[in-house]
Chain A
Amino acid sequence: MNTTHQQSWTGELLADWLRRGKDFAVLWVVAKVFAFSVALFASLMLKRRMSHDNGIAARGTVRILDNPAIPLHRFFLPERTFPCRIRHATATFLDDAVKGIRSMSIKFSDDHLESPFDLQMNTGERSLFWSAASFLQFARLRKQKWGVEYRDYYRKYPDGLSGAIEALRENPESFSDLRYYCKTPFLYIGEDHTLRYAKYRVVPAKMGTRETGILQSPDPLEIPNQRVAAHNPNGRNYLKYEYRDRLEKGSVNYLIQIQLRTAAADEDPEIFNNMKPWDEEIHPWHDLAEIEITEAYDWVESCKTTFHVGNMPETLGAIPAKSIHDYNSLNYMRAHSAIAHKARLLNYRLFGYPPEIPDNDNRNWSDWEKPHRILNRSYDLPPKN
């Protein structure tokens, strides 16, 4: 009897191990194939990032705050200061005036690639996808045409739609007044060696700054339509111009905040779900660091500036993922995307940088286009008789 039980137990363990092995193998293959495909077909051939091509980089400093509410971590030592580089962008379209997701990425170094700590964030507390599998669906169902995209995706996945409603911004006044969330949690193993999970967000340093661009009474059927309205006076680069102008007048300050929760042995996987924000009553946001941005970079440097989720200390890194349905698989895929970054930088080096986005009437557009060149050729008219 005991032997039978033992055999059964062993069999189940073996089956579970095999399942897990298969799940992880699928995840690994998917991540690699996806990264390689992006590297080959988007980055190397088309100079494209995954989505956020339309952006502006800037530099400044980041200072870690002395906040006793945050367990001590050797990387986030109080008063530690880093040079930093940020990049704001509008997702997908090469047009700042579309109804779109805006992003902020931070490097704790003033280098276009290397850094001890990178954060990539988007507007909205919820995301549009929640796992590698759902991200692949998201990518497959984009079907963009003339500024309308993800219609099929939103029809199938109402959570994706509600995430979009929360994340899209329409005619924000500035990149600087938006709130950016790093929705998928990361590890946080402090000096006390307690396993915790952390989420980050960036808010304007000035308290009470009104966030602009939030959709008012959004019509779910209209969410796929991200087109620039006919009466919209904003140009294709208005947010980048505004940010550059703002920096010329003075610094722009942000606050990095962190939300922490202690890991449990029987953790509910839903806590890793980026569609489900943690309860702020139980897991409040704590001020982690101050950012002061002082100078905007030009287009070329903005293009070069690249962020990678792998740029993190091990104790602050991505949470290991088990399958493509694991909520942490998103960061796993991001971690495998280094090849795509390198491919894009290689393209720049070999074939030059993409052209700056022209201020023309080619709205709702998401492909590179070169502005008309001034030919500056002269010719003589034949003399009149």
Chain B
Amino acid sequence: MSGKHLTHDNDQPAPYGDPDTVHSIYRECIEETKPVPTRERTFLAPRLKGIHHLDIGYSKVVTASPGMILDNLYNFYDGVKDTLHEWWLRLCPRPTAITGTDFRGSSIVGRTTYAGRHDHDKPIHHLRVELWGRTWWLGWRRLAEGYSGFDGRFELPYDLRAARSSAIRKIRAEISQTTYRFDRHGNRSRSFSLAVALPIKKSDLVGMRYDLRDIQIELWCYRPDCYIPRVKIDDLQHEAPEKYVEGRNEAITDQFIPVELIKLKHVTMLRADPNALTIEEIQADYPPNLTTCIEARLPGYSRSDEFFGERMMNGMNALTFEPIDGEEHRYRVVNWGYQGYDHNNVYAFPTTEMDFEILPGDHAPRPLQITITGALSAFEHDPDQKRTFYPTDGERWLQAKRVARSVGGLISEVDDHFARTHVNVEQYAIAANRNLRLNPVTWLLLPHLKEVSLIDHTADRMLISQEAGYIPRASALTEKGLKHRVRDALGMMNWKGYRPMPVINDHHYYARAENLFWDITYEYISEFFEHNAADIRAYWYEIFAMSEDLVSHSVPAFDREAHLRGLEGRAYEVASRRLNYWTTRFDHQPQMPTGSYGGEPRALSPITQAKDFAQADPDDWENLKEMCCYAIHHATFLHSWVNEHQHDDIGEVLYSCLGLRFGEHPDGVMHPESDHRIAPDPLRATQMLWWSNLLSRTEYGAITKNPDGDVNPRFGELLKAHEAEFRSYGVLVDNIESRTNI
């Protein structure tokens, strides 16, 4: 996705010159600050092995020449090994035909179950099970194949004579996950990723049933220690339930190394001398972003009301505007700050309420007032102090907008980016990966849910952790506060009844693009369901099991009454306003029936409560479509939007950051940009710019490009058919990523 063009109101003054000129500068800056194209690799270019080797301090990048030479040698060795492996696979192909003629009397039986303390007896259904024989001359013989049943049990008949053939040297049973790929014509093929391989002594096969017993597999297990549904990953390198595709790692290496080197240089200099760099020097080292580009060509415009309203409506924040009762064209936006959440006393994170005038037609919002509640300086920590600023307040108004931008930046990062797309999508990814295998919904949903668990795992360390994460060290929220806030946010999110943001006027490009994408996704899903109805019904049990996992592991529903019970006075008021904020922000519908688990209402509604489609409620079919649409929408469009606008909106330290420091002045954060004591310190500043570049400029896996061939090309075709309309909203369909992977 790209930025959006501005439309200038005829009734507004144009202090920055001709509106067309402003518009063309805006467009040019969007083009100029797009992600850099893939760089060429050279022999002695620095190397980054993968996303999980990134760190806000020193990422594991090979930069020294001897290291690069060794790395190249290793890569050469790796390449040769891969080539030999591929050659070997071609030399010893695995036949599709099953060897044998008489399959009576002998079979392999067993049961696939989850592993671990909490799941160890729970069956895993529909896993692929195959029995393979390896000949003395290293060929393969397929002896039996099948799938585990609903109860995880399988029975694979095999030909005893074929299995005991003297040509066969050893035998093994393989348990695999099923994945799907598409060619450019939309033809689907299956592939299997091996989960477990169990050797079987040939002499043990003596006919009748041979029992492999319970085969325990750590497959997409839930973390037992987590406050929200997360997947258990003990070792990202070796024990993760999935891996990044090679292209993802290559893309980040190619696109991000220059930025990584800048940050490494800064970190090294600042560790030696914290004052070695100024914020201006740091900013200048990084590629320009939208605001620095505009500021260089139209000084002051990026801090203008016009630009402020535009970005609040169609930028990273994409705020939810609530009409103000009794006031025509007046809208209010609340960005809830630290109140109610654990925080530190270094950074400001007040609640900001912004009133806008939004006229019908193609008009950007015009800010009218900003009310800030909470501490703004190191000297006044009263969380209830409330101050209102107006456009006529001059410098104060500029400072208030800066505070509002920074609060908005942190909220977008935590609520919209991390909670709404990353961990929200992860709960669907876990449930889907645990349960979908033969149902056609598998190849509809899984391509959009892959890799999110991996990036979330990395985010735990780089973004959330109190010791090593960026947010607790560069903003007011502590790790505890973050987790509490994310849990509250998830408690408000439900697939059922979700609708895209209502469009306020013609200029509301974000909402129009979101609605368009939602409609296309729904059309794609409806078409898909129509074509695959029989199989979706036949394997309905997988939907039931997915629904059970979704509901039982979702966070407790955000119970308004329970949260307000026992509170009085100011505490009641704060809690009540906080709940209102969440309800508005995530379009929460308290009346929507949700599931329950352990006697406690849960945030998510069940898709179905029937194991068999014949017993399913008539609404269940629509529920499934709605859930698929929600998951795909959040994993693709919503994530792409918030992610790719980070560089535009938090890519200039002094324009907006995730946390303004209270500084040393009595006015605290209400001070000019030139006071660097309230800006992030240089180390945080370079880390912030690194972050915004990382998130916005390392794209991989667009739906229309479909580099891994896992997305049904039909989805891309539908999006392409609306390319012009998307472009009119400032969205490039070729930039909408198919999944949440950064």
User: Is A157 interfacial (CB-CB < 8 Å)?
Assistant: yes
User: Is A155 interfacial (CB-CB < 8 Å)?
Assistant: yes
Fill in one digit per residue for B83-118: 1 if any A CB lies within 8 Å of its CB, else 0.
000000000000000000000110001000000000
User: Is A131 interfacial (CB-CB < 8 Å)?
Assistant: yes
What's the dominant secondary structure at chain A's contact region?
helix
| Surface stretch bound by A, among B202-210, B280-288, B363-371 | B202-210
- Contacting pair A158 B203 (CB below 8 A): no
- Please judge, given known A-B contacts A269-B104, A270-B105, whether A325 and B208 are in contact too, CB under 8 Å: no
Contacts of A270 in B (CB 8 A): 104-105
- Contacting pair A157 B161 (CB below 8 A): no
- Contacting pair A275 B208 (CB below 8 A): yes
CA of A137 to CA of B209, assembled, Å:
13
- Please judge, given known A-B contacts A131-B207, A133-B207, whether A158 and B109 are in contact too, CB under 8 Å: yes
Cβ distance B152 to chain A, nearest Cβ, rounded Å? 15
Cβ distance A242 to chain B, nearest Cβ, rounded Å? 36
Contacts of B209 in A (CB 8 A): 157-159
Cβ distance B163 to chain A, nearest Cβ, rounded Å? 10
User: Is B559 interfacial (CB-CB < 8 Å)?
Assistant: no
Cβ distance B98 to chain A, nearest Cβ, rounded Å? 19
- Contacting pair A273 B105 (CB below 8 A): yes
User: Is A130 interfacial (CB-CB < 8 Å)?
Assistant: yes
Of A134, A136, A155, the contact of B208 (CB 8 Å cutoff) = A134
- Contacting pair A131 B206 (CB below 8 A): yes
CA of A269 to CA of B206, assembled, Å:
15
- Contacting pair A137 B206 (CB below 8 A): yes
Contacts of A159 in B (CB 8 A): 208-209
CA of A156 to CA of B104, assembled, Å:
19
User: Is B175 interfacial (CB-CB < 8 Å)?
Assistant: no
User: Is B53 interfacial (CB-CB < 8 Å)?
Assistant: no
- Contacting pair B204 A137 (CB below 8 A): yes
Fill in one digit per residue for A130-150: 1 if any B CB lies within 8 Å of its CB, else 0.
110110110000000000000
User: Is B213 interfacial (CB-CB < 8 Å)?
Assistant: yes
Cβ distance A163 to chain B, nearest Cβ, rounded Å? 10
CA of A270 to CA of B210, assembled, Å:
17
User: Is B211 interfacial (CB-CB < 8 Å)?
Assistant: yes
- Contacting pair A269 B105 (CB below 8 A): yes
User: Is B134 interfacial (CB-CB < 8 Å)?
Assistant: no
- Please judge, given known A-B contacts A155-B213, A325-B160, whether A130 and B203 are in contact too, CB under 8 Å: no
- Contacting pair A130 B208 (CB below 8 A): yes
Contacts of A268 in B (CB 8 A): 104
User: Is B714 interfacial (CB-CB < 8 Å)?
Assistant: no
Contacts of A137 in B (CB 8 A): 203-204, 206
Residues of A141-186 at the interface with B, using a CB-CB cut-off of 8 Å, are 155-160
Contacts of A131 in B (CB 8 A): 206-207
Q: How many residues of A contact B (CB 8 A)?
A: 18
CA of A157 to CA of B160, assembled, Å:
15
Contacts of A156 in B (CB 8 A): 204, 210-211
- Contacting pair A155 B207 (CB below 8 A): no
- Contacting pair A134 B206 (CB below 8 A): yes
Cβ distance A332 to chain B, nearest Cβ, rounded Å? 15
Contacts of B578 in A (CB 8 A): none
CA of A155 to CA of B109, assembled, Å:
11
Cβ distance A26 to chain B, nearest Cβ, rounded Å? 10
User: Is B611 interfacial (CB-CB < 8 Å)?
Assistant: no
Using CB atoms, name the residue of chain B closest to A137. Answer: B206
CA of A325 to CA of B208, assembled, Å:
10
Residues of B639-670 at the interface with A, using a CB-CB cut-off of 8 Å, are none
- Contacting pair A157 B104 (CB below 8 A): no
Contacts of B211 in A (CB 8 A): 155-158
Fill in one digit per residue for B187-219: 1 if any A CB lies within 8 Å of its CB, else 0.
000000000000000011011111101000000
The total of interchain contacts (Cβ-Cβ below 8 angstroms) comes to 44
Contacts of B160 in A (CB 8 A): 325
Residues of B123-168 at the interface with A, using a CB-CB cut-off of 8 Å, are 160-161, 164
Fill in one digit per residue for B534-545: 1 if any A CB lies within 8 Å of its CB, else 0.
000000000000
Fill in one digit per residue for B353-388: 1 if any A CB lies within 8 Å of its CB, else 0.
000000000000000000000000000000000000
Of A130, A136, A157, the contact of B210 (CB 8 Å cutoff) = A157
Contacts of B203 in A (CB 8 A): 133, 137
CA of A130 to CA of B213, assembled, Å:
20
CA of A273 to CA of B209, assembled, Å:
13
Cβ distance B168 to chain A, nearest Cβ, rounded Å? 14
Using CB atoms, name the residue of chain A closest to B212. Answer: A156
Contacts of B105 in A (CB 8 A): 269-270, 273
Residues of B438-463 at the interface with A, using a CB-CB cut-off of 8 Å, are none
Using CB atoms, name the residue of chain B closest to A138. Answer: B206
Contacts of B213 in A (CB 8 A): 155
- Contacting pair A325 B206 (CB below 8 A): yes
Contacts of A155 in B (CB 8 A): 211, 213
Fill in one digit per residue for A97-113: 1 if any B CB lies within 8 Å of its CB, else 0.
00000000000000000
Contacts of A130 in B (CB 8 A): 206-208
- Please judge, given known A-B contacts A155-B213, A268-B104, A269-B104, whether A325 and B207 are in contact too, CB under 8 Å: yes
CA of A323 to CA of B291, assembled, Å:
83
CA of A131 to CA of B208, assembled, Å:
10
CA of A160 to CA of B210, assembled, Å:
10
CA of A30 to CA of B603, assembled, Å:
66
- Contacting pair A133 B208 (CB below 8 A): no
Contacts of A273 in B (CB 8 A): 105, 208
- Contacting pair B109 A133 (CB below 8 A): no
- Please judge, given known A-B contacts A268-B104, A269-B104, A325-B164, whether A134 and B109 are in contact too, CB under 8 Å: no
Cβ distance B196 to chain A, nearest Cβ, rounded Å? 17
Cβ distance A213 to chain B, nearest Cβ, rounded Å? 26
CA of A273 to CA of B106, assembled, Å:
12
CA of A130 to CA of B104, assembled, Å:
14
CA of A269 to CA of B161, assembled, Å:
13
Cβ distance B271 to chain A, nearest Cβ, rounded Å? 59
Contacts of B164 in A (CB 8 A): 325
Using CB atoms, name the residue of chain A closest to B213. Answer: A155
Using CB atoms, name the residue of chain A closest to B106. Answer: A325
Cβ distance A331 to chain B, nearest Cβ, rounded Å? 16
CA of A130 to CA of B210, assembled, Å:
13
CA of A134 to CA of B209, assembled, Å:
11
Using CB atoms, name the residue of chain A closest to B109. Answer: A158
Fill in one digit per residue for A56-75: 1 if any B CB lies within 8 Å of its CB, else 0.
00000000000000000000
Using CB atoms, name the residue of chain B closest to A23. Answer: B161
CA of A275 to CA of B107, assembled, Å:
14
CA of A158 to CA of B207, assembled, Å:
11
Residues of A244-289 at the interface with B, using a CB-CB cut-off of 8 Å, are 268-270, 273, 275
CA of A270 to CA of B103, assembled, Å:
11
CA of A159 to CA of B552, assembled, Å:
37
CA of A275 to CA of B213, assembled, Å:
20
Contacts of B204 in A (CB 8 A): 137, 156
Residues of A286-340 at the interface with B, using a CB-CB cut-off of 8 Å, are 325
Cβ distance A19 to chain B, nearest Cβ, rounded Å? 8
CA of A273 to CA of B207, assembled, Å:
10
CA of A130 to CA of B109, assembled, Å:
17
Using CB atoms, name the residue of chain A closest to B110. Answer: A158
CA of A114 to CA of B211, assembled, Å:
42
Cβ distance B232 to chain A, nearest Cβ, rounded Å? 28
Contacts of B207 in A (CB 8 A): 130-131, 133-134, 325
- Contacting pair A325 B210 (CB below 8 A): no
Contacts of B109 in A (CB 8 A): 158
Cβ distance B546 to chain A, nearest Cβ, rounded Å? 31
CA of A287 to CA of B161, assembled, Å:
38
Query: Which of A130, A157, A160 has the most CB atoms of chain B within a 10 A radius of its CB?
Result: A157
CA of A131 to CA of B203, assembled, Å:
13
Query: Which of B161, B206, B209, B211 has the most CB atoms of chain A within a 10 A radius of its CB?
Result: B206
- Contacting pair A133 B104 (CB below 8 A): no
Contacts of B210 in A (CB 8 A): 156-157
Cβ distance B216 to chain A, nearest Cβ, rounded Å? 15
Q: List 5 A-B contacts (CB under 8 A).
A: A130-B207, A133-B207, A136-B206, A155-B211, A325-B207
Give 9 nearest A-B pairs by CB, closest first: A134-B206, A133-B206, A159-B208, A158-B211, A158-B209, A159-B209, A137-B206, A325-B207, A325-B160
